[in-house]
Amino acid sequence: MGLDHQGRCRSGGSVTCGILRAPKDLFDAQIGSVRCLLRRVDGRFEMDPWGFDPEVHSVLMSLGRARWDLEVAGLGHVPESGPVLLVVQRRLGLSEQGVVSLALASIGRRVRRVGIPGPEFLEAPLRLTGSVMADPAEVRGLLRDGHVVSVPMSRSFCGDTPGSLDPLVLQPAVDMGVPVLPVAVHGLEWGRKWQVIVDAAVTAPSEDGRLGAIEMAGRARDAVAAIVASGGN
């Protein structure tokens, strides 16, 4: 990815082959996959306390660059280090979290995506890629260790109206004073082009605890709705 004259981050430069860009990104993913397998054979791989494997994540980012063309605005709002919580717009919900992960990977930040669906056997492989449970205690631990945590809104199929948020998942960020950034995502599941717009941190709530989390959920939803309404301008 590179920055254009408006400070927007754009991916591109590779040859398109169907819905995938080739050959470099696909080649990188293939080489990374072989390395992952070899390290597992000889036991030299690493995972963090949440089951995340950075090598697996790197392979997925190579595949993401092959699959999607991104236009990203507002990455300057994301701190270079330290904890941050992203509230991400979701429609069908298959690609948005991955697209946001790819966008932040362009500035060297790995995203932990909240929301592991059942059944239980999916948990371990999804954790390898950066997914975590929608558990306030888990979110709190990740933020305490300085990670970027992405919280998806509920699915919304009604035009540009954002979905809802679970205040309990936001409460750790409110309690700890962690910045909460609204993120709007535009694209089609079967298409190549996606737009990711990150806005400035939502104003901190006036209340603490659960009431503050409820207030933050409303403010974050309104912030995402404002980005969508403005078209990112």
82 is a domain residue: yes
Is 80 exceeded by the pLDDT of residue 187? yes
Q: How far apart are CA 230 and CA 193, in angstroms?
A: 19
Report pLDDT for 46: 78
pLDDT in tens, 59-104: 888 888 888 999 999 999 999 999 999 999 998 888 999 999 999 9
19 is a domain residue: no
Report pLDDT for 160: 72
91 is a domain residue: yes
pLDDT in tens, 115-163: 998 788 889 989 989 999 999 999 999 999 999 999 999 988 766 789 9
- Parent domain of 154: 69-230
169 is a domain residue: yes
Is 80 exceeded by the pLDDT of residue 25? no
207 is a domain residue: yes
Rounded mean pLDDT, 160-177: 94
The least confident of 36-40, 119-123, 199-203 is: 36-40
Strand runs labelled E in the chain: 2-3, 9-10, 15-17, 20-22, 69-73, 84-88, 111-114, 131-132, 148-152, 180-187, 193-198
62 is a domain residue: no
Q: How far apart are CA 65 and CA 60, in angstroms?
A: 9
More confident position, 204 or 33: 204
Is 90 exceeded by the pLDDT of residue 225? yes
Which pTM does this prediction carry? 0.85
165 is a domain residue: yes
Report how many domains make up the chain.
1
Report pLDDT for 189: 87
Is 70 exceeded by the pLDDT of residue 110? yes
35 is a domain residue: no
